[in-house]
Amino acid sequence: MNTRQMKSAARLYAVQALFQMEASGQAAPAVQKEFEDHRFGATVDGDELAEGDGALFRKLVDDAVNWQSKVDQMTDRALVATWPIDRIDPTLRALFRAAGAELIEGDAPPKVVISEFVDVAKAFFPEGREPKFVNAVLDHMAREAKPEAF
């Protein structure tokens, strides 16, 4: 597995971990350890899960926790007024938190971050309109987080 695939897997795992943290009330260190010990490269029902970039995974989860208030505010501004962040699907909320953290603190260009997280949305919602929604919201968030990149 190449570096790009490992980074993509780390982004997917970060969204799953943030979702799990919100649903279960678990703290980041416990969830991060569980993912690194039991998900990265594990075999489940005969299918091998991808190996993730552990450093990027930990950074995304930590930054999403540390910057949650700022990211949630950015997300609220990007959403239509009738859809505050607490009313959207928890998977999308986790995705916006991971992506927002990477937009604020990450090194990847905003267009790469947007593309990667739209792909994550496609993995969770292969038949839905969510990937287009994610693209629009993240584009708005990226323009706020890194206006110099546009």
Instruction: Provide the token pair at 102.
Output: 């990477």
Residue-level pLDDT at 85: 73
Of the pLDDT bands very low, low, confident and very high (cuts 50, 70, 90), residue 43 is confident
Q: What percentage of the chain has pLDDT greater than the value 70?
A: 99
54-105 pLDDT, tens digit per residue, is: 999 999 999 999 999 999 999 988 987 667 777 889 999 999 999 999 999 9
Residue-level pLDDT at 80: 72
Start-to-end CA span in the chain (Å): 32
Residue-level pLDDT at 111: 97
Q: Which residue range forms the structural domain that includes residue 80? A: 3-149
How many independent structural domains does the chain possess? 1
State how far the Cα of 82 lies from the Cα of 44, in Å rounded to an integer.
40
Question: CATH number for the domain including 60?
Answer: 1.10.940.10
Residue-level pLDDT at 17: 97
Residues in CB range of 40: below 8 A, 6 or more apart: 9, 13, 49, 50, 51, 52, 54, 57
Instruction: Provide the token pair at 143.
Output: 């323009």
User: Average pLDDT of 34-58?
Assistant: 88
User: 0.75 exceeded by the pTM?
Assistant: yes
